[in-house]
Every structure is written in structure tokens, then in C-alpha cells.
Amino acid sequence: MSSLQSLSTADRTPILHFGDEPWRDSPSESVSLKRDMSTERLFKPCSWGHLLESTDFETASVAEFVSAPLASRWAEIVREGVYVEVQNATRAASTNEIAYWLAVVIKVHGYFVKLRYLGCDDDSCHDFWMNTTSEIGVVGGTDYTIHPVGWSVEHGEELHPPKEIENSREDWISCLSAKLADCSTIPKKLHEAFRLATRTSFSPGMKLEAVDIRDPGCLREASVGCVSGRRLEVQYVEDGTSSDSDASSFWCHDSSTMIRPVGWAKLIGQDIRSTQRYFDTSLGKILANRLSDEDAPVGCFTPLHMLEKQRQSLDAQELKVGMKLEFFTPQCPDAMCIGTIRKVLRNHFLVVEADDVSAPEERLRMCVHALSNCLYPAGYAQIARIRLKKPPGYEERCFRWKEYLDETRSNAAPAEIFAKEVPDHGFQVGQMLEATDVLAPEDIRVARIERVVDRLLLIHFEGFPCDYDQWVDCESPDIFPVGWCNSVRYRLTDPGGGSQGVRALD
């Protein structure tokens, strides 16, 4: 031990490291977190610490989230048995000097890993959690970043065992040499790769068209406001027709179908609310491929991928105005609605309106592609045991599709069109995740999977009643692995409706 300096005998309280904030076992106070963002909205991460240690705590793997950074490679990059280098917390606490030590991954929950220092063997008393993707570095004498094995040697940093185990053996040098030469570790450029994977092509000020969240069957002229981890704050442009009940903005993922390029509405024939100047010029821009510098490039938007057999099915099966189907609408995410095709637009886009309201001002409608994952054939809700909102007159009687079609003198849309491939996903009931609240899309909440039906997930928000549960598609960009908010520094709303205690970053 002559080459390894001794630590002081100061007691060490186990610390949970959550990327950009350290938590002692029972944080007793909450303080503000500084953010470099051009918005009045305060982004503060919520601690998963009280749940991560639960014996029945299960999370959906990062690999299951198609829009999650590094999803396709995460299982091979971060797994149990991988060694990393982290700061020796007792060294900083006792001497105010930074030293590092090796630790092994013993559990993975989303982007969080549970670590055990090399030398602790089967002793779990000093285990701690860290976020694998945080690269905030050293703040206030504490390094919150996980490094690959060999990093300390490469950067001239000291390797020193924690106080609790430093006297347990005398051959630490040979032990370290063996591990440095023969162990699996994370890639050197893991943090850079994660940063690149969370980068968006959109930037503040870019113009686009966005779904009117008050009337999803209509688009509005809009622009990009704040950007955070591929999530965009979309701000509506005042068109002179707004009312007090209209929203001024909403949040969505950059791959969301809620946003479209300039000229999209007129290109497919969809309604749009905009200024007169925009209305007169938008179609010409996209047809001539002459978008201005302030318009979001078409390449920023996620293209519609349609298999050839799907294209052939759409061409063979004609969709007509008046046909009935079942669908999910953002205004009613807890149940399926009975819908009627009101318009058939260009390129197989449809305007679908719910039959479950009688007042025109209360209509629920949306504009979607015929292959959208929110459209289903008549009768699907009954087969899948999903609540179906009944149309007027059926509140106290059993709903049967055949009778309803006869009474309304209508036909069901061809079921073949809505046949959906069910991916071999690994989502299971009881798994925890972070999910966007469809009814308040600026909020990402602590959530749990309540049901799995084909490719549909019923999301329950912790701390909310069951009637607030929401259905989402398994490939939705609005669901995230545990730790995503902490990784990109977006606010995660805790079950109590706020954010838990956060250490200041001064």
C-alpha cells in the first residue's frame, strides 16, 4: 500500500449518484437547479432513488424504446459484469482531493446502473447508483461521470480504494493491473455517442406547421421554441383568430407526426389556421422546393415508411367518406372512440371524427394517415377488451357494431387496411418507465405499464387515479427509459406532481 495514500477515518454515508446531482439516503431539503435554457420553464430532474432499491422494481429495457438514444446497442454496451471507473467518494469527503476506483455493474435499470467497488466482493453495504450517460464532469469537487476502465491512467488521475476496503488486502497494485488488462468496460466515446443521439436537426426559430392541440384535425402555423433532448417546444403563430381557450404552445418529440413542414396542409388538403400571407405562400414554397432559411428543412421531419404490401392494400381497398372505424384521439387517450371518416385527403390521409358527441363545438377529430397506429378496425376494442366510448343513445344499452352500422346506414372501413404488425417487443405489465402525459405534453411523468395488448401499452401515472391512464403505441416517441429525463436534463414530474429535492449546480 506504499504507493496508495491512506484515507482518513471519516465515516462515509452511502451516496446515490444520479448524473447531475448526488443524493444522500434521505434528502432532507430541496434547492433549485440552474439551467442554461432560453425559457422561463424550470427543468428539474426527479430522483428515482426511492424506487430503484425496491425489491419488486422492474424497468423496461432501453432496447425496447425505438426513439431512445443508443437503444439498439444498449444491451451490449451496458450490462451486468461491466467494469467502470468512478470517483472514490470517501476520498473527496475526507481530503477534498479527487481519486478514482474501479466498480462493477451489478444491476441495470434504464440508463441507471447500480455499482459496487472493486474489492467489496459480496458486501452490498456500499453499493450506489449512477447515471451512465451523465457527462457533467466535476462540480464542487465531485465527479458525476462514469468513465471507462483505463481513464484514470490516461488522464493522470490517482486510483485509490475506498476507506472501507483499503486495508483488506496488500496487493491492490497487482489486483488493479489484472483488472485493467482483462475486463469488459464501456466504450471510451459513450458520452459523445449519447450526446450525438440526442441531437436534433431542429433549432429554435425554425418555422413549421403543427397540429392544433385543441382541434387535431387542423394544422396551425408555428415555430420551434425551446429544444431539449430531441423534444421541441412548438409555439403557435398568432393568426388573429385565437381565443382565450387556445394554447400558445405544446411539447413533442422531433419525430412526432404532430409537426409537418411548411406547406404540408395545402399539399395534402388539410385545414390550417395561419396568417393570410402564410396561407398564400406556403404551398408554392414546398412545391418549388424553395423553403426560406427560417423554414425547417423537409429532411428534419420523419418520413412515412410504408411497406409495399401496405401500399398495395391501400390502393386495392378504397376508403370513403362516411366509413366507420375505431381510433384513439389525443383528447381522449384512455379509451377508443367510434369514428367516421369525414374527409379523404391526398396521399391516403384521412380526417376522422368521433361519433361520441352531439354538439359540434365538442367534436373530437384528427387528421392521420390511413396506416397510423391510432386507427383500428370496427370491433377491435371489444376483442382487445379496451373501453369504447359509446355514441349518443347507447349510454344505457349494449353496443353492437352490426346494429350501429344498420342504424347509421354506414359501412365499416375495410379491416385489412388497419392490420398492424406487432413487433417482438419486451414490454411487460409492471415495468416502470418515463412517459409523456398526452393531456399535458410538456410533462413527462413517473409511469408504470398497466396492460399490454398487441402493440398497445396502457400507461398508469404514479400518484394519479386509474381513470387518468393512457394508451400509447409501443413505438411511440413519447415514452422513455427510466433515467432519460435525468440524462438529457429534462424535468421529470414525480408522483406528487412536482420535482423532488435537487442539489444546486453552482
Q: What is the CATH number of the domain that holds 280?
A: 2.30.30.140
* pLDDT, tens only, 221-257: 999 999 998 999 999 998 777 666 667 999 999 999 9
Residue 260 located in a structural domain: yes
SS3 466: helix
C-alpha cell at 90: 470517501
24 plus 135 within the same structural domain: yes
Q: What is the pTM of this model?
A: 0.85
pLDDT at 21: 36
Query: What pLDDT does residue 357 have?
Result: 57
Which pLDDT does position 29 carry in this prediction? 29
Q: Which pLDDT belongs to residue 470? A: 98
Q: How far is CA 336 from CA 391, 406, 459, in A?
A: 11, 21, 15
Give yes or no: residues 108 and 249 share one domain. no
In a domain, 432, yes or no: no
Q: Is residue 268 part of a domain?
A: yes
Q: Quick one: pLDDT at residue 101?
A: 93
Considering its fold, how many domains does the chain have in total?
3
pLDDT at 168: 81
Say how far apart CA 115 and CA 113 lie, in whole Å: 6
| Distance from C-alpha of 41 to C-alpha of 372, rounded to nearest angstrom | 32
Low pLDDT (below 50) residues in the chain: 1-46, 499-506
Q: Domain for residue 489, yes or no?
A: no
Per the domain annotation, does 312 fall within a domain? no
Domain end call among 384, 413, 442: 413
Closest CA to 416 of 372, 456, 375, 377: 377
* In a shared domain, residues 250 and 374: no
Beta strand pairing call for 324-329 and 332-344: antiparallel
Any domain includes 302: no
Residues 160 and 227 reside in one and the same domain? no
The β-bridge partners of 212 are: 215
Quick one: 273 and 400 in the same domain?
A: no
Roughly how many angstroms between the first and final C-alpha of the chain, as a whole number? Answer: 36
Position 496 scores a pLDDT of: 57
Torsion of CA 22, 24, 30, 36, to 10 degrees: 0
Choose one of 163, 197, 231: the last residue of a domain: 197
Expressed as residue numbers, the domain containing 270 is: 207-296
For residue 137, being part of any structural domain is answered with yes
As a dihedral over the C-alpha atoms of residue 374, residue 378, residue 384, residue 387, rounded to 10 degrees, the angle is: 80
20 and 123 in one domain? yes
Are 240 and 93 in a shared domain?
A: no
Q: Tell whether 340 and 274 lie within a shared domain.
A: no
DSSP codes, 69-124: TTTTTHHHHS-TT-EEEEE-HHHHHHHS---EEEEEEEEEETTEEEEEETT-TT--
Q: End of a domain among 392, 413, 434?
A: 413
Is residue 47 a part of any domain in this protein? no
